[in-house]
Structure 1
Amino acid sequence: MIENTKAIVINTIKYGDTSLISTCYTKNCGIKTYMLKGILKSKKSKIKSAYFQPLMQLNLTANHNNKGALNSIRDIEIDHFYNSIYTNIKKQTIALFLAEILYYAIKEEEQNQSLYEYLETSFLWLDTHDNVSNFHLLFLLNLTKFLGFYPEMNLPNSNYFDLIEGNFTNINNFNSVSGENLVQFKKLLGINFDVLHKIDFSAENRQTILFILIQYFELHLSGFKKPKSLNVLKSVFS
């Protein structure tokens, strides 16, 4: 089936000497993987390898096959040109990290326009703002809304947050967040990107909250893996 859709690049690997395989999150069809034959060899092709950088936002005309099969792209154009994501080291590192997160977290080949719009607007915010040191933390927390395990807010003044149950409680379990870590974690709850600069995370706080969020994803998503770029992210923001 020929489909016109917006798409966000989340993973690209080399296939052979001349081709790429790229996985994108599409607005109309969820996760789709494309075979880009000869893209590294042909200089005249309208489809360029530069289009498939992490989090690039595209408009595609694609031939979508049955579930699980590789698809092909007939036509392509950039939907939004980023001004700084690929030139600013912090933003570039965040983009690589979040692309890996999305690759491991989203598997569905179904339309979810609210999730797509969240990704689209979030990455445009990242591109157009300077104070982004906490961006990935709030992005991950808010992503859980669309994945089905955002923290329940029934008892927010409790002494513990249970990572398995996803709720606040006064019962201390093995996977509970408590004490100062809980105080820092709560700073992200219920806020939007425009007030991120007001959160006074230290580098140590930031790494601790990131560890909690990664653990939260691991507990709730089957097959989720820690991104390889995690150590690079920690290094850049330490």
Structure 2
Amino acid sequence: MVITTQAIVLSKLRYRDNDLIVTCYTQQHGVLSFLLRGVLKSKKGLTKTAYFQLLSQLQLVIVYNPNRSLHTVKEAKPQHVYNSLHTHILKSSIVMFLAEVLSNTLKEEEQNQTLYSYLETTLLWLDAHQECSNFHLLFLLKLTKYLGFYPESTPIQHTFFNLQDGTFEASQNSKYTISGDELNILKQLLNTTFEDLYQVKLTSKQRQSFLNIMLQYYELHLGTFKKPKSLQVLNEVFN
């Protein structure tokens, strides 16, 4: 079946000498992987390869077979051309980190239009704005809405947050509980939009600490989630 779909690149892997395996989150069928045969062999192929940078947004014409794990790309072209996402050092480190997180969390071959729209619009926002130091924190927090474990927002006035249950509590009932400064950051981000994110002022130490908490939150709710290898690079860039 030949279909046209928008897609966001999650990962790419060299296969044999001249081929690539590219995994994308597609608007029509969720996560799909594609075998690009001979794409590394010619200059024309290398131009096509440049389309498949991490988190690039593409329009693909594909041969889709639900009984296959690898599909074929007949045609690829950019859906949105980024201005800074792959050239700005801070943004490119965020892209590498978030692509790894998304590869780790998005597994289903099924359509989810609201999730696709979230990814599309937030990546375009990041590309268009200069202040991005806390983007990945808010992105991960809001992503949990679509993954099914967004924090219960009431009663938010409580002084503890249980990471395991995703709830605010009046007392510490689990070893996976945060309070104090980390809790205040969580509450602040829960009440923040991307447009107002510049108002959230964090030190590099606070940012790293809260990011580790978010990754632990993902580990507790997604059994297969692994801490991204690119975390160290991200922390070094934002130090």
TM-score computed with the length of structure 2 as normaliser: 0.97
Question: 1:145, 1:13 → 2: CA distance?
Answer: 29
Residue in 1 aligned with 2:36? 36
Alignment of structure 1 residues 8-157 onto 2, 5 Å: 8-45=8-45, 48-66=48-66, 69-157=69-157
- Give the residue type in structure 1 aligned to 2:104: Y
* 1:109-137 superposed Cα distances (whole Å, 9 cap, x missing partner): 00001000000000000000000000000
Residue in 2 aligned with 1:237? 238
Contact 1:134/1:206, CA 8 A, preserved across alignment: yes
Question: 1:13, 1:46 → 2: CA distance?
Answer: 14
3-state DSSP class of the match of 1:207?
helix
- Give the residue type in structure 2 aligned to 1:100: E
3-state DSSP class of the match of 1:180?
helix
Mind listing any 5+ residue stretches in structure 1 that lack a counterpart? none
Aligned pairs, number:
238
Alignment of structure 1 residues 211-230 onto 2, 5 Å: 211-230=212-231
Deviation at 1:148, TM superposition (A): 0.5
Deviation at 1:68, TM superposition (A): 5.5
Q: CA RMSD in A?
A: 1.2
Contact 2:48/2:76, CA 8 A, preserved across alignment: no
Question: 1:160, 1:84 → 2: CA distance?
Answer: 39
Question: 1:190, 1:121 → 2: CA distance?
Answer: 19
3-state DSSP class of the match of 2:213?
helix
* 1:152-173 superposed Cα distances (whole Å, 9 cap, x missing partner): 0121011111111011012311
Deviation at 1:219, TM superposition (A): 0.7
Residue in 1 aligned with 2:200? 199
Contact 1:25/1:32, CA 8 A, preserved across alignment: yes
3-state DSSP class of the match of 2:24?
strand
- Give the residue type in structure 2 aligned to 1:16: R
Question: 1:221, 1:63 → 2: CA distance?
Answer: 31
Question: 2:135, 2:185 → 1: CA distance?
Answer: 15
3-state DSSP class of the match of 1:60?
strand
Residue in 1 aligned with 2:164? 164
- Give the residue type in structure 2 aligned to 1:233: L
Question: 2:63, 2:175 → 1: CA distance?
Answer: 48
Contact 1:47/1:76, CA 8 A, preserved across alignment: no
Deviation at 1:222, TM superposition (A): 2.0
- Give the residue type in structure 1 aligned to 2:14: K
Mind listing any 5+ residue stretches in structure 2 that lack a counterpart? none
Q: Structure 1 169/85 Cα, relative in aligned 2: closer, same or farther at 3 Å?
A: same
Q: Structure 1 46/5 Cα, relative in aligned 2: closer, same or farther at 3 Å?
A: farther
- Give the residue type in structure 2 aligned to 1:148: G
* 1:51-88 superposed Cα distances (whole Å, 9 cap, x missing partner): 11110000000011225510110011100000001110
Contact 2:2/2:61, CA 8 A, preserved across alignment: yes
